[in-house]
Amino acid sequence: LLAELFCEKEEFELGADVFQEISTQNEEYMTDDAYYNYGNALEHLGKTEEALKIFDTLLKRNFHYKDVNHRVTELKQRVVSKQSEDLKSNRETIGGKAPKEIRYEMIDELGRGAMGVVFKARDRLLDRVVAYKTLPHTMKNDKEALENLAKEAQTAAKLNHPSIVTIYDVGEEDGTYFIAMEYADGKTLQEVLKLYHRITGNNFLHIAKALCSAVFYAHEQRIIHRDIKPSNIILMPNRSVKLMDFGLAKILQDLAIDKTMLRGTPLYMSPEQVLGKDIDHRCDIYALGVVFYEMLAGKPPFTEGDIMYAHLHTEPKPLVEVVTDVPKSFSSAIMRCLEKDKTKRPDSARSLWVELTQ
């Protein structure tokens, strides 16, 4: 109550201090309203990244609370915009590297996410076009993350599969840490689903086969994706399918400004990821199930209320009850992927493909 009174009187610094004390010592008293007002106070103080952390926490608690989804999206864009401006500033600084010394030449901005900006760029050294993803500036102060960065990237870069976007390079240039990867000039599955709503029949099988093959291959190399979702799946003009950011989720987990930023909207998270423990390759099987469900039904199994709670405790509506034109083999295989108990899911992506086509 005291914190809210401070905020009402526009004493945002005092309000934020009280909210911080409550959230640290008596978190059970932090209601949705309290988190919202806390984030609002931090935003008024210009503490964008801290405000994002609080609003993102609220988003996980109650996805539909007021305009929190919009606030998170807006604040993420501000954080990423600053990173983009800093990158541009670094490249224009007098006394910095001459243009010929800079390996990667930015061509166009491709997109923005919670963790950075993605550019279409030209690798001057190897004369090829790449996707250039910037990483959070905060990693400079995280020695453990820096030590793990090269190791994780080297492991992911060894993946050689036609349906996996290849990682080429990881490093630092002009004060900005980056990952350079294969440039895939197509539409994301997310974009295609927005346009067509559903993907069924042979088109579904074509995409599912490529994804199951890619995921099985990576798991055989002991690499887990951890973040399979439609925005990470690219459908190419030649009908090939590309799964990007393989191995990147683990890297970003070490670099995240806040661990919750990595999750985004938790539509595709397995129960064990929600709990943050006992994560193995079967979290990817769960995510594939959610993606396949969305492709066939036009929406993920959980879209309303506390989505993280639903992943843990709510049984998804059987696919055959959502859409009646789906083959029983599709429905039974996908519903097995969505089992809360990971031991009841298909034991591999190859097994999943077999079940889909029985």
Residues with catalytic annotation?
Answer: 227
What type of residue sits at position 311?
Answer: H
DSSP 232-264: GEEE-TTS-EEE--TTHHHHHHHH-SSGGGGT-
Quick one: which of 254, 246, 208 has its CA closest to 227?
A: 246
CB-based contacts of 101, cutoff 8 Å, min separation 6: none
- Does residue 253 contact residue 247 with C-beta atoms inside 8 Å? no
How many residues are recorded in the chain? Answer: 358
Assigned token pair, 102:
């800079």
Buried b (16+ CB within 10 A) or exposed e, 344-356: ebbebbbbbbebb
- Does residue 292 contact residue 208 with C-beta atoms inside 8 Å? yes
Assigned token pair, 313:
């405790």
Bridge partner list, 234? 188, 242
Buried b (16+ CB within 10 A) or exposed e, 287-308: bbbbbbbbbbbeebbbeeebbb
CA 311, CA 3: separation in Å to the nearest integer? 33
CA 77, CA 151: separation in Å to the nearest integer? 29
- Does residue 308 contact residue 63 with C-beta atoms inside 8 Å? no
3-state secondary structure (DSSP) of residue 8: helix
Assigned token pair, 126:
């190897």
Residue that has been written with the tokens 């610094």 in this structure? 13
Helix axis angle, 201-220 to 349-356, nearest 10°: 160
CA 227, CA 248: separation in Å to the nearest integer? 9
CA 348, CA 358: separation in Å to the nearest integer? 16
